[in-house]
């Protein structure tokens, strides 16, 4: 099948950038991204392309090139579904907050709603692609809905998980390590796989396009995130031991990273991992393992999450202890709120939980992040439902200038590894702070020797 029209349901962190790159690389294909969130679609269509809702280096340029040519953002979901030959499902799959599997299982209600909508609207054969991160065998449920509530048309279900790292999503899309496509082993299933292979083949080398069965594809995404998160929790566990023994975790990580069997990636000790995927996917993996009675497997992977939560608590506890066991009414400046640099995504950011702990201790939090709004900062804290929104507003203030955020502060916590933090005039920051002036480097990005020569009391992770 020659593909000329693609629809993506969901204009978020995965759907938006992925479809923008497909549109740029496949000018012969009309790509329509649909979402019921009118504000989000309006932002994608903003005349000033710098105002698109997702910040990723290079993304605005790609959107500017393709938007209006063959890339469209719309709230007309039905029209896009009806016209498309391939429909990507890229909606949110949060961890369940209710019922069976609460706190671990993926909530698939949005996936099911998409499937039912596709089944209701489709009048001709469609290829439906799982782009959201889903538990293994979700395709089976989607196919059951489509086959039993549709209009007699034929659906082929493919799994095409994303392997994007926020902050480098555009690079990851343009030069992927691999494209994974899982589908049915039937003749029709293989034809559907080839149709999607042909789309990616417009810019991805053939040896980087891997095809599997659906179940292998679904599970590969969960496994990849689990392995990456495991490395972070492993080095963070060692960081605590380093602090007790006098070792330096950065030196340890460098030494073991030079082992070709291990490699250097994801061995950076920090305050802990965040983002939309790692915790959610590992908890999902734990739930799946438990549902099959694999309790030892579940316990193994759950420990990755336990270690990550411990690292966040350890960081906030260390701040309180160092600041003479009280932070009540003290101003603590947060440099960074996004879960990592080069993104405006704050989901599961360590900064949220560190702030929550310090507000419980009556601290005054001053936040600076170059890409995160004050409204988002407060919304993240309100989402925890730890206290009233009025209390959060009274204890947290966002600043558009980092020097203002740090002025008169007792301590600074570096919680996102934005490059600009390294280049600051730290002498100027020190001069404007309360003395003694503390820096808690939760990302180990600053020069300890330089800061201590100014007069800062510096504390990093694992050294």
According to the 3-state scheme, what is the secondary structure of the chain? Answer: CCCCEEEEECCCCCHHHHHHHHHHHCCCCEEEEECCCHHHHHHHCCCCHHHCCCCCCCHHHHHHHHECCCEEEECCHHHHHHHCCEEEECCCCCECCCCCCCCCCECCHHHHHHHHHHHHHCCCCEEEEECCCCCCCHHHHHHHHHHHHCCCCCEEEEECCCCCCCCCHHHHHHCCCCEEEEECCCHHHHHHHHHHHHHHCCCCCHHHEEEEEHHHHHHHHHHHHHHHHHHHHHHHHHHHHHHHHCCCHHHHHHHHHCCCCCCCCCCCCCCCCCCCCHHHHHHHHHHHHHHCCCHHHHHHHHHHHHHHHHHHHHHHHHHHHHCCCCCCCCEEEEECCCCCCCCCCCCCCHHHHHHHHHHHCCCEEEEECCCCCHHHHHHHHHHHCCCCHHHHHHHEEECCCHHHHHCCCCEEEECCCCHHHCCCCHHHHHHCCCCCCEEEECCCCCCHHHHHHHCCEEECCCC
**257 vs 104, higher pLDDT:** 257
Residue 132 scores a pLDDT above 80:
no
pLDDT in tens, 398-409: 999 999 999 999
Q: Is 265 annotated as a binding residue?
A: no
Residue 282 scores a pLDDT above 90:
yes
Percent of the chain with pLDDT over 70: 98
Residue 150 scores a pLDDT above 70:
no
pLDDT at 102: 84
pLDDT at 137: 67
Q: Is 340 annotated as a binding residue?
A: yes
- The mean pLDDT of the chain is 94
- What confidence category does residue 104 fall into, taking pLDDT thresholds of 50, 70 and 90? confident
Among the listed residues 114, 242, 277, 406, the single catalytic one is: 277
pLDDT in tens, 42-56: 999 999 999 999 999
Q: Is 336 annotated as a binding residue?
A: no
Minimum mean pLDDT range among 71-75, 127-131, 194-198: 127-131
* 86-92 average pLDDT score: 93
* 130-145 average pLDDT score: 76
- What confidence category does residue 205 fall into, taking pLDDT thresholds of 50, 70 and 90? very high
- What confidence category does residue 136 fall into, taking pLDDT thresholds of 50, 70 and 90? low
Catalytic residue list contains 277: yes
**73 vs 166, higher pLDDT:** 73
pLDDT in tens, 160-186: 999 999 999 999 999 999 999 999 999
- What confidence category does residue 141 fall into, taking pLDDT thresholds of 50, 70 and 90? confident
pLDDT at 463: 80
- What confidence category does residue 366 fall into, taking pLDDT thresholds of 50, 70 and 90? very high
pLDDT at 148: 79
Q: Is 224 annotated as a binding residue?
A: yes
Percent of the chain with pLDDT over 90: 85
* 237-251 average pLDDT score: 96
pLDDT at 153: 87
Q: Is 72 annotated as a binding residue?
A: no
* 126-140 average pLDDT score: 79
pLDDT at 429: 98
Q: Is 15 annotated as a binding residue?
A: yes
pLDDT at 103: 85
* 209-223 average pLDDT score: 91
pLDDT at 349: 97
Minimum mean pLDDT range among 70-79, 91-100, 239-248, 350-359: 91-100
Q: Is 131 annotated as a binding residue?
A: no
- What confidence category does residue 133 fall into, taking pLDDT thresholds of 50, 70 and 90? low
* 318-341 average pLDDT score: 98
- What confidence category does residue 96 fall into, taking pLDDT thresholds of 50, 70 and 90? confident
């Amino acid at each position: 099948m020659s593909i000329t029209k693609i629809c993506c349901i969901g204009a978020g962190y995965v759907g938006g950038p992925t479809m923008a790159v497909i549109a740029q690389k496949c000018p012969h294909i009309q790509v329509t991204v649909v979402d019921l969130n009118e504000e989000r679609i309006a932002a994608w269509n903003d005349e000033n392309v710098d105002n698109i809702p997702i910040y990723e280096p290079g993304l605005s340029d790609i959107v500017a090139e393709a938007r209006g040519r063959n890339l469209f953002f719309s709230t007309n979901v039905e029209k896009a579904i009806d016209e498309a030959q391939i429909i990507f499902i890229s909606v949110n799959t949060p961890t369940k907050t209710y019922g069976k599997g609460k706190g671990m299982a993926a909530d698939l209600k949005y996936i099911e709603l998409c499937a039912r909508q596709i089944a209701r609207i489709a009048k001709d054969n469609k290829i439906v692609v799982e782009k959201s991160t889903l538990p293994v065998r979700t395709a089976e449920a989607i196919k059951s809905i489509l086959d039993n509530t549709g209009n007699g048309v034929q659906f082929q279900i493919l799994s095409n998980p994303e392997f994007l790292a926020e902050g480098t999503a555009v690079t990851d899309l343009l030069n992927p390590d691999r494209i994974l496509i899982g589908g049915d082993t039937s003749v029709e299933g293989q034809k559907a796989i080839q149709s999607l292979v042909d789309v990616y083949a417009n810019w991805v080398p053939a040896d980087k396009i891997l095809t599997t069965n659906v179940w292998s594809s679904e599970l590969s995404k969960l496994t990849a995130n689990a392995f990456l998160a495991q490395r972070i929790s492993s080095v963070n566990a060692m960081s605590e031991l380093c602090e007790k023994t006098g070792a330096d975790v950065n030196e340890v990580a460098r030494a073991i990273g030079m082992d070709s069997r291990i490699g250097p990636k994801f061995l950076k000790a920090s305050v802990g991992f965040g983002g939309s995927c790692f915790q959610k996917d590992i908890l999902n993996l734990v739930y799946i393992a438990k549902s099959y009675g694999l309790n030892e497997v579940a316990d193994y992977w759950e420990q990755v999450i336990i270690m990550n939560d411990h690292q966040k608590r350890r960081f906030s506890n260390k701040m309180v202890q160092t600041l003479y066991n009280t932070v009540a009414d003290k101003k603590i400046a947060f440099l960074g709120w996004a879960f990592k640099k080069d993104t405006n995504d704050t989901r599961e950011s360590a900064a949220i939980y560190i702030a929550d702990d310090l507000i419980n201790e009556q601290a005054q939090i001053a936040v600076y992040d170059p890409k995160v709004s004050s409204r988002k900062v407060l919304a993240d804290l309100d989402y925890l439902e730890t206290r009233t929104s009025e209390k959060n507003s009274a204890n947290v203030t966002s600043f558009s200038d980092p020097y203002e955020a740090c002025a008169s502060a007792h301590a600074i916590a570096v919680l996102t590894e934005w490059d600009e933090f390294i280049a600051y005039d730290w002498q100027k920051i020190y001069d404007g702070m309360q003395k003694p002036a503390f820096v808690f480097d939760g990302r180990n990005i600053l020069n300890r020797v330089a800061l201590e020569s100014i007069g800062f009391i510096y504390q990093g992770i694992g050294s």
